[in-house]
Chain A
C-alpha cells in the first residue's frame, strides 16, 4: 500500500536522491479553433520519478475513475523508460495547470476520451528523457561510452558492470536533460500493446483503495444538503428545530442551493436532514412533466426552427423509392456513478485542503475556493480515486464545487468537513443526459442508395462549447448534432434541422454525449430502410460507407458473429456501427425475446479500431463495460418528471441498472494499427442500443422508437 497512489503532494517532486524529470514539451492543441487551448498547456510538466528504492513513480494527470487511463499513461512512460512493470507505481497530480493541463482543454480535464489521445507522446517523451539521463549517468560512472550501456527492466548494464535505476537515480539527476529524446519504433515495444496487469487492481480488490468517501481525518464532521425535489427549485424558508434536536446534529445553515445539516456522523446527518422542514420556491423551477416536455421537443423536431444543413429535398415515394419515417423519443438519463459526489474540505486560516475526485481538478478547486472565500492559489487538491463518473464529475458550471465551498464556508470552523451527496441527491439533483426527440424521413432506392435523409432533432443545449453556425445565421449546440453528419455514409439530399428545448432542467455530457442518442437514431433508421427493401444490414452498410476504417470494423464484427448464418430458433442478429471520439466501433448483438417481453441479449461481438492499442486488455475491459453500461440504460433507464416537475426516480429501485444476470457474453477484436491512439472510454457505448434494436427488428418486425425498451416495447414505465 505504501507505494501505491492516493495522496498527492506538491513537494514530492523535489525529492532528495530522486531523479525528477521536469520537461518543457509543447503539445499542439489539436482541435482547430479551440481558443481555450491557445497559450495554455505548453508549460513544464513533471511525470516521472525514479527513487533510490528502484521504484518508478508515474504522475498521472488524469483522474482514474475506472477507464484505465492511469495504467495506460504509466505504460507509455514505462515503455520508453524500459522500466520493470512490477516496479512502476502511480501518483495523482496536484491541481496545477502549468504542468498538467490537458492540451485540448487548456486546463486539467479528463474527458472526451482524450487521456491517451492527448498525452501519449508527452508520456513517452517523459519516459525516454528519464532513460537517456540514467544511461548517461551510468556511462559517466563507469567511464564507458553511452553506446555500451544497456537499459532494460529497470537495470543498467555494460560489460562487467550492473546497476539498478535506483542506484543511478541521484547521479542521473545531475545529467543534462536531452532536448528531444529518441522514441522507440513500435517494433521494439515491450509493454505497449501487451497485456499488463493494471496498477490499481490489487488495492481495488482488498478494500484498501481510498476514494473520497473513505477519507477520514481527526475531528471530521459530515455535511448533507437538502435539495429541492424539482430542477431549479430554491429554498423559500425552512424550519430547523426538529433537525437540531437530533442527537449528533451540530448545525443547520442555508447554502443557497439548499439547506446544509452538519453532524458528528453520517447516521446523525441523515436523521437530521430527514427532520428538516423546507418550503421550496418553484418560481424558477421546471414544473412541467416529462409528457409536456416531450411533446414540445417532438414539435420542434418535426418543424425544426434552426436549419443546419440542406443538400436538397426528400424525393417523393414511388415504385423505385421507399420512404421510412421515424419519430424517436430518448429519455433523460442519470450518470449514477457508484460513488456519489463528495468532497472533504479543511480550512486552515487563509488556506484550504480538499480531497476530491473531479474530472476538472483545477476548475473544481477554484470553485470551492471562490465559494469558500479562499484565494485560488491557496487551495491544495489531494486527488482520490473516483467511484465512476461517466461525465458526472465534469460539470462545466462547477456547481458541485461551488456548493461544496459554500458548505465549508457556512461551517466556518477549522474541522475537516466531509460533504456527501446521497443516492437520492444524485438521482434527483443530477445533471442529466438530455432528453431528445428526433423526427426522420429517409428514402432508399432499389439499388440500396440513400436518396434522401431529412432529420429534425430537438433537445436542451449542453452549452456553447462546440457551437456551429446554422443556415439562418444563428448558433446551435454542436453536441446535440454530433454523429448525424460524420459517420462516413453517403446520404444524398441530406437535410438536418435542430430545435432547442428551454428548461431549468440541468443537462450534461453523459458517456458518449450526443452519440448516445444520434447513434441510436441513425443506425436504427438505416436498418429500417434496409428492411423495406430486404437488403442485408451488413452489405447495405458497406455499400453506403466511404470510410475504410469504418468498413474494417463492420466487416470484422460481422465475421466474428458469423453474420449470414442461420441463428438459433427464436434469436436474431443485429449490427450497428458508430464512430465517436475518433474511434471506430461496430457491434453485433444476438437477441431473443426474454421472459419479461424485453430483448434478451445473449452475446455481443465488438470490433474497435482506435489506432495503436496501448493496453489491449484495458481496451477489452472498456468494451465489455461500455456495452454493459449501454445495455442497462437502453433496457431499463429513464429519468422522468412527474407532476410539478418532481423527479420521479430516487434510487436504484426505480432507476434500474444492468445486473449480472442480464450481462451478455462480450467478445472483442481490436483492429491492428500503428496510427496515433484515440479514446476508448466512450466509443463502446453508442452502437450497442441500435445493435440490439436492429436485432429486435429482425426478430419481431417491431421498430423501437422510444427508449428505454421497457417503455418502448412493453409500454410501461421502467
Chain B
C-alpha cells in the first residue's frame, strides 16, 4: 500500500507494508538518521518524533497511522522552542554520548509548546519516557529551564 504524509513540511509517499514502523520509514526510506533506534518497544524514547505536534514513539507507530498527517523529526525541528532548546543544549554541553539527545530534544520541544514555564514536575512528566544511559538528566533539566526563560524573555 502507499501512505502519503508530510515529513518536515514536505509531502512524502511510502510504498510498503502498512505495519512498517514510522521509525524505519524515516531512517531508511527518507534517510533522516537523527531519529534513533534504542529499544523498539517505546521504552527509551530515542525515536521520539512529533506527529501533528505531539510527541510520538516512532518505533511503535505503524506507518498506516500517519497517513495524511504531519511528522516532524529532529532535522525539521525549527519551532522557536526547538531552536531555544538546541541553543541551551549546546551552551550547557548537555550531550555525552549523544545518542538519545534527538529524542530528548523532541520531547522537550513538545513540552515547551504546551507549558511556557515548566516546573520540575512538568519536566519529570514530559521527559520520564526518555532514557539517557549517560544520565545527563541534570543538564537536560537545566537546559529546558534556560530555554524556557529565554523564550519568556523574548515574548
Q: Give chain A's interface residues, CB within 8 Å of chain B.
A: 65-68, 197-198, 200-211, 213-214, 216, 247, 265-267, 270, 336-340, 385-390, 420, 422-424, 617-618, 621, 624-629, 631-632, 651-653, 657-661, 663, 665-666
Contacts and interface: CB of A to CB of B under 8 A. Distances in A.
B132 interface: yes
Contacts of B44: 338, 423, 652, 657
A666 B28 CA distance: 39
Interface string B56-94: 000000000000000001110000000000100111011
Interface of B: 16-17, 20-21, 24, 27-29, 31-41, 43-44, 46, 73-75, 86, 89-91, 93-102, 105, 123-124, 127-141
Contacts of B123: 660
B141 A660 contact: yes
Point out which of A247, A338, A423, A652 has the most chain B C-beta atoms below 10 A from its C-beta.
A338
A203 B74 CA distance: 12
A201 B138 contact: no
A651 B39 contact: yes
B99 A388 contact: yes
A204 B135 contact: no
Nearest to A220: B28
A208 B98 contact: no
B39 A387 contact: no
Given A204-B95, A247-B17, A624-B135, A216 B124 contact: no
A205 B97 CA distance: 11
Contacts of A629: 133-135
B89 A201 contact: yes
Contacts of A618: 93
B155 to A, nearest CB: 23
Contact of A204 (B21, B101, B137): B101
6 contacts: A65-B97, A205-B101, A214-B33, A267-B21, A336-B133, A653-B43
B36 A387 contact: yes
B97 A337 contact: yes
Contacts of A632: 135
A205 B131 contact: no
A1 to B, nearest CB: 12
Given A338-B36, A388-B97, A625-B136, 16 more contacts: A68-B96, A200-B98, A201-B89, A201-B93, A204-B101, A206-B74, A206-B86, A266-B37, A387-B98, A420-B37, A621-B93, A629-B135, A653-B41, A657-B44, A659-B129, A663-B135
B1 to A, nearest CB: 12
Contacts of A388: 96-97, 99, 133-134
A198 B135 contact: no
A666 B142 CA distance: 12
Given A207-B74, A211-B99, A624-B138, A652 B39 contact: yes
Contacts of B94: 201, 205
- The A interface is mostly helix, strand or loop, or mixed, namely loop
Contact of A201 (B37, B74, B95, B132): B95
Contact of B96 (A267, A625, A631): A625
A665 B138 contact: yes
B128 A660 contact: yes
Given A338-B100, A617-B93, A624 B133 contact: no
A67 B43 CA distance: 24
Point out which of B98, B100, B127, B129 has the most chain A C-beta atoms below 10 A from its C-beta.
B98
Contacts of A209: 98
Contacts of A247: 17
Nearest to B32: A207
Contacts of B124: 660-661
Contacts of B39: 423, 651-652
Contacts of A68: 96
Closest 3 CB pairs of A and B: A207-B34, A628-B135, A387-B99
A201 B140 CA distance: 13
A694 to B, nearest CB: 21
Contact of B99 (A338, A617, A621): A338
B31 A660 contact: no
A200 B94 CA distance: 10
Contacts of A624: 135-136, 138-139
Contacts of B129: 659
Given A204-B95, A247-B17, A216 B137 contact: no
Contacts of A621: 93, 96, 136, 139
Nearest to A631: B135
A266 B131 contact: no
A627 B41 CA distance: 27
A340 B36 CA distance: 11
B38 A423 contact: yes
A629 B136 CA distance: 9
Given A66-B97, A387-B97, A666-B138, A267 B17 contact: yes
Point out which of A67, A68, A388, A626 has the most chain B C-beta atoms below 10 A from its C-beta.
A388
B118 to A, nearest CB: 12
Contacts of A658: 131, 135, 137
A266 B134 CA distance: 26
Nearest to A264: B28
Contact of A338 (B24, B132, B139): B132
